[in-house]
Chain A
Amino acid sequence: MKRRQFLMAGAGAAGTLAVGMLTTGGHAAPTAASAAAAPGGIGLEMGPWLRIAEDDSVTVLVPHIDMGQGSQTALAMMLADELDADWRHVIVAQAPADLRHANRFLARGAILGERELPWLVDGLADAVFGVGARFRNVQITGGSLAVRTTGQVGMRVIGAGARSLLLDAAAERLAVPRGELEARASVVRHAATGRSLRYGELAADAAQHSLPGRPKLKTAAQWTVMGSSPPRPDIPGKVNGSAPYDIDLQLPDMLVATVLAAPVHGETLQAVDPAPAMAVPGVHRVLLLDNAVAVVAEGFWAASRGRDALKPVWRDGGQRGTSTASIAEAQAQALREATGGSSGKKAVEHGNAQALLDAATPARTVRASYRVPLLHHAAMQPISGVAQFVDGHLTLWAGEQNPLGSKAAVLGFTGLKDEQVTIHPLPVGGSFGRRNGSDNVVTDHLKQLTAIARAMSPRPVKLIWRREEDFARGTFRPMISCDLAAVLGDDGLPAAWRQRVIERDHPEVAWELPYNIAHQSIRQLAVPHHIRLGNWRSVNHSQFKFFNECFVDELALAARRDPLDYRLAMLPAGSRGRAVLQQAAQASGWRMPLPAGHARGIALNASHGSWLAVVAEVSTDPAGRPRVHRLTAAVDCGPVVHADTARQQIEGGLVMGLSATLRERIDIADGAVVQHTFSDYRLISMAEVPQLEIHFINGGSIGGLGEPATSAVAPAVANAWSALTGTRVRELPLQT
């Protein structure tokens, strides 16, 4: 069958053009942009994302939430540019979390047709609509996906398709060949006759026209909106206190709840005497949940006091002897036992690394063991949300990274039907993977909230976790140990790379090496424990890049080569990796002398479609700890869509990465999290932020920016500190 009409349009409210959904059939439109985003052909489906009204306003409904990353603006820019819309009349709006669209489209097969979709697109459909959980790592706002997938294969195509409809409508109205028309700033002009029509005048007619099979996308040289830095629409509300986080919502008759859940993960509630909490003035109810106690009160202060008064007893799940040391020892033991070539689950096997290692002399062999700690997201907004259950309908107001994924989770644990649940997505005060709606662990606050709302129905309830709860019941970046061994060839470069790493059993790509190493054996070992784990900004790259980029420095040291030259020697000429390393080295003065007592370290990260190199300059502070003076980053994320938010994501990633490198660590004792709040889990503050220098290079296709910068900081700083002190850093954080 022929390609389906893939952009469906219809007249919406009187006089508006609503581009309702889009599916590309068959193969991708043969444009550089879409081909780069999904090589080998794409199929795609998007929700209702664009409205053009008679007053020329262009409303772009963005399915990604605002958690500070600025991608809502970038995505709207991508659509507006292809549409040739007047940016001054573009309204950026949050798309509703409405699963019915997804269900209808999926059920009718409008997206999938009769074709087998490539896995990426299948995963993307899952992510956009929160239906199914086949690719759990693909989130609606996560994986640095917004611009490089939603934007590239969604927003731009929708914009270009709608522009085509408007041109068709104008050609008919003016009775001129379409090729004589020009669209710019929301106006279609016919130069020969001097006539023009506004998009608002054309919108209703445009909805009657057929969509092109292959909307043509602009080349970067034709961009007018993309590449600039329009002010973000969310900023004014963030400087006057009016930005609408869920924690700020005030509803009539609303109650406020807080919870105390089992501090040892996996344990359940055995018994609790509610009387002491009920004695606190303002407390309405103490609710016993599976693994938590909830206190519902007039306000947060009373609820919090009520929580303090409770002494719940938890059922011992046999994990109370677990500690950071016991987890580390279990991981070390698994690594010690993984001696053979086939030990563990295969991640990468090229050539015969094990045989080379077995045959190599000690002089040619380098071995090291690394470890990273559990890390907390520590978003500034504590976990919160608002819910109301009335007449069998549950309404939630929540800042979730994946509103539809969170909705699917709510349907799962409440047994409610899709039409019985409404989620209003709101911005969130930081998330970094914490509230990504991917599973029952990260959505346990919603489970608590819905249970409380049902119990207190019809009154609305706001749930606020205390900061201590946020720490005790975090979903942490995994603590991982790793053994590395390499055989150096005659040229000093690694001929073989053997890596055994403790990992969760879930799909990952972080172990891929950017370097030319002929023989590689990378395998993962599972050592389960009871601590709740989640995805932390960078996903797994921040762990792996610490291991790998520090070990590369160890190899360079063994080969008596400069760490930069050593890396360059392993990268192909003309590669993006070489370009960012050279740019960062040049900008940081890598080959220039340093003041006495200073040293530099370098590291490379390829992740989320982008390439990034960081050079760190460190010295020793009066207490003998590392002091970071300067971080120089070179970033190749392809053409930059919003120059300023792109820079901001790198700034933020560098700062977060540095904070983790220097100080962050979650410990476990007696089976529970040791740290309680920001005084024992200390983030870096203003005084410790070094000079940041950021350079962008356009080396190819569009890559993600939310996560990559976080991963290159630890190895760059650790390599600098090792160079300064002569003692290799193989464990984080540096300031213990």
Chain B
Amino acid sequence: MTEPQAIVLSLNGRTRALTVDPQMPLLWALREQAGLTGTKFGCGVGVCGACTVHMDGQAVRSCVFPVGQAQGRTVQTIEALGTAQAPHSLQRAWVALQVPQCGYCQSGMLMAAAALLAKTPEPSDAEIDAAITNLCRCGTYPRVRAAIHRAAREALASAQGPANDFKLAAQPCDLTAACSESAA
């Protein structure tokens, strides 16, 4: 353990100085120093992905990322993925498909998905499988997959102009790919 130092970083669009032990995992600096509790503690060993944030646009597991290494870099957390007025296309898709159950892993899922879409605007199922290694005990995986596809479609449609503007469906369940409806 080393002495606390001022770690200066761009956090959710603002320059912040966090005075912490540089070895402290970024997760705890975010949660306990910066008060950003949307990023979750799941395993502490970088396996479950509940703590996923963006570091210079890349998805990283903040529970095993020393905050000292964030010096001078750009960090984005779930709190800045979108706003209430302008939610991220993934957040809109997540609401439309009512993805979360307990919700605890969903910040990490969304951040991992956002990093994927930034790099791969139209991911295939295999690309989603490779990129989203986050764990969800409630079993939201089929809806996470469907919501990523939906957000990708929405983003592409809006890029093509207002004529293709995406409309949210009134009914949330749109999982034709993942689980078919029954007339029974």
Contacts and interface: CB of A to CB of B under 8 A. Distances in A.
B77 to A, nearest CB: 7
B22 to A, nearest CB: 11
Nearest to A652: B139
A380 B42 contact: yes
B133 interface: yes
Interface stretch (A9-17, A206-214, A675-683): A675-683
A610 to B, nearest CB: 15
Interface string A369-388: 00000000111111000000
B135 A685 contact: yes
B139 A239 contact: no
Interface string A225-252: 0000101101111111111010110100
Contacts of B58: none
Nearest to A698: B184
B107 to A, nearest CB: 5
A486 B164 CA distance: 64
A224 interface: no
B59 interface: no
B150 interface: no
A240 B137 contact: no
Interface string B155-184: 000000000000000011100001110101
Contacts of B38: 240-242
Contacts of B32: 256, 299-301
A68 interface: yes
A35 interface: no
B24 A648 contact: no
B142 A381 contact: no
Interface in B82-135: 82, 84, 87, 91, 94-95, 98-107, 110, 128-130, 132-135
Given A380-B40, A380-B136, A652 B184 contact: no
A232 B43 contact: no
Interface residues of B, number: 68
B101 A648 contact: yes
A695 B179 CA distance: 9
A693 interface: yes
B81 A240 contact: yes
Contacts of A428: 102
Interface string B16-47: 00000100110010011101111111111101
B6 interface: no
A692 interface: yes
A69 to B, nearest CB: 7
B54 interface: no
B149 interface: no
Interface string A264-282: 0000000000000000110
A380 to B, nearest CB: 4
Interface stretch (A42-50, A320-328, A356-364, A653-661): A653-661
A380 B1 contact: no
11 contacts: A229-B171, A235-B95, A239-B91, A241-B37, A241-B107, A380-B136, A651-B139, A656-B137, A679-B45, A679-B47, A696-B182
Given A229-B173, A686-B144, 4 more contacts: A236-B95, A648-B101, A685-B134, A686-B134
- Nearest 5 CB-CB pairs, A to B? A241-B38, A429-B104, A655-B139, A68-B102, A238-B103
